[in-house]
Amino acid sequence: MVIVSFMLLGVLLVIVQTTLCMPSPMWPLAPDLYYVLVGYLAYRLDLVRSLIILFPLGCTLDVLSGTVLGLHSILCFGGYFLLRFISGKLPVLESLYQIPLVATSFLAVNWCAHVVVSAFDEELLLPWSWPLMLARALLVALFALPLFRLFDAVRRFAQRSILPWNRLHLRVDNRRRRQD
């Protein structure tokens, strides 16, 4: 249930990003909502479930954005593993670093991907722009807190089973009751 919920949520975030957040094809400040989900998965969910959720997310992004298939998937998986690795190594309290780290990793992963792709074909991508990418990283940080809250709520909701199995448990009689 958690996997399906987050899969749908990821696709929904991408759709919102490509429609409502993009008033024109040239709009530069569309928040990368999908990356907040990547960060959330890295912090909160286990590896297997996270990878299952990341596959359709990266695929949807590749379909709806860009001309290099697989680039967004690399960004998602790269960001996920980077965040997971760093958060596992850091000794400080998680809440202190989690949002800045999401934004920083977004910047780092994007820069690495841009360098690699540009090395293969210089005219495939638009040139790297630090002010623009810093603004996008800031947007990721700004949207991180409310979206983390939303994801927490979705996770709590999804963890409740549709069928109330716990109510179907057979209640055994009280063993300490006196025999009449």
Output 24 or 179, the one with its CB closest to another protein.
24
Q: How far is the CB of 93 from another protein (least distance, A)?
A: 33
What residue ranges bind another protein (CB under 8 A)? Answer: 15, 17-19, 21-22, 24-28, 30, 32, 63-68, 72, 114, 121, 123-127, 129, 132-133, 136
CA angle 33, 37, 40 (to 5 degrees): 135
Q: How far is the CB of 82 from another protein (least distance, A)?
A: 19
> What is the SS3 assignment for the chain?
CHHHHHHHHHHHHHHHHHCCCCCCCCCCCCCCHHHHHHHHHHHHCCHHHHHHHHHHHHHHHHHHCCCCCCHHHHHHHHHHHHHHHHHHHCCCCHHHHHHHHHHHHHHHHHHHHHHHHHHHCCCCCCCCCHHHHHHHHHHHHHHHHHHHHHHHHHHHHHHCCCCCHHHHCCCCCCCCCCCC
Q: How far is the CB of 90 from another protein (least distance, A)?
A: 29
Q: How far is the CB of 32 from another protein (least distance, A)?
A: 7
Output 47 or 63, the one with its CB closest to another protein.
63
Output 60 or 98, the one with its CB closest to another protein.
60
Output 67 or 174, the one with its CB closest to another protein.
67
Output 120 or 165, the one with its CB closest to another protein.
120
Q: How far is the CB of 49 from another protein (least distance, A)?
A: 26
> How far is residue 90 from each of residues 43, 57, 78, measured CA to CA in Å?
12, 27, 18
